Amino acid sequence: MRFFPFFKRSGDTVRILSVDGGGVRGIVPALVLKSLQMRLTRLSSDAQLWNSFDLIAGTSTGILIALGLTKPQRDSESNFLSHPEYGIDDIIDTYRLHAGEIFPRATFRALRQVMQAFGEKYDSTHFERVIKRLYGRTAVRDALTNLILTSYDTEARRPFFFKRRPPHHRPADDLDFLMRDAARAGCAAPTFFEPAYVSPLPPAFGNYCLVDGAVFANNPAMAGYIEARKLFPRAKRFVILSLGTGSTVKRFTYHEMKNWGYIDWVSPMKGVPISSIAIDGQVESVNYQLRKLAGVEFHRLDAPLLGCSEEMDDASDKNMNALQRLAQGIIQANDARLDTIARTLVGQGTSPKDSR
């Protein structure tokens, strides 16, 4: 039942799931969540991922996971007895079956990288077809639990958040969007896809030009925490499970960079260093801040992309298999920790504050 989280859990504790951006690397947190789901089920037959968290935050590929976990079988705000249309296995299969459709491999890959400097790398039609099939006409407001999903408004020059909130927490100007439009906007990575041009429900409020929220919050855990503080102002304890999509291992040395100009800093051939460095810095700064906050128990599960491509669009069989091995390594390295997190989510124990 939808109200399962509130039957057994203390009202002063809020559980938050946060999933980073990372394109095809989203299969990594999806597999970690599958392992967590198995542990939850062993503790309680009623415990599912969607009803074990009070709020889910997502950026880019993390939005696809958040929406996949919370899309109801019935499209209605009164769906409190509804169940999610998809399970975690369905989400994993989406990566396995459709990543290559969304990010088709080019015969002349180096040429495509050069052309990326002059226009978007991919036609968004394939991606739009996939998310239309997944989410149909379901609205973000119909989601089974609270959501905060990141994007960036290029016309207003400020962050933009798609939110699912309880009715009593919604201001009059709170906008609703189709899930597929939130996914399209939140995954509109600059130079990979053209910006999204979407309208709220009802469409009388005009259109918004939006791009991937990774430009300011590839790690949305802090956004999730702030939103949870608004929704649960009396809470004393915030348990945050933050899932990465693999951390970069490429290093830029002084001798390599000392003569770089504009072209080098934005070169796709070099992995767009100015972007990747900014994203890494944001991810790590959020991790640091949340570990230091009083009343926050922060669990960060991630690992270096050793043996994997750092490119968000490498959907080759070789890389997808490598990412699955990376996920298994994260699960094995955090076996006891995942058990503890599962017990905390169903209200059977507490977890120590993360000191890492």
Q: Name the pTM for this structure.
A: 0.91
pLDDT above 90 (res 231): yes
Average confidence (pLDDT) over 336-348 = 93
pLDDT > 90: what percent of the chain? 78
160 and 208 Cβ atoms separated by less than 8 Å: yes
- Residue 82's pLDDT band (boundaries 50, 70, 90)? confident
Structure-derived torsion over alpha carbons of residues 87, 141, 40, 352, reported in degrees to the nearest 10: 140
What band does 174 get if pLDDT is binned at 50, 70 and 90? Answer: confident
| Cβ neighbours, 10 Å, residue 82 | 17
pLDDT at residue number 117: 57
Q: Average per-residue pLDDT in the chain?
A: 90
153 HSE (CA, 13 A, CB side):
12
Residue with more model confidence, 122 or 1: 122
User: Would you state the pLDDT for residue 112?
Assistant: 59
Name which CATH class applies to 4-345.
Answer: alpha beta
User: Tokens for 238?
Assistant: 């915030």
pLDDT at 244: 98
Task: Note the pLDDT of residue 47.
Answer: 94
Q: Please report how many Cα atoms fall inside a 13 Å half-sphere around the Cα of residue 293, on the Cβ side.
A: 21
Q: Tell me which DSSP letter residue 167 carries.
A: G
**pLDDT of 278:** 94
* Span 22-74, pLDDT tens digits: 999 999 999 999 999 999 999 998 999 999 999 999 999 999 999 999 999 97
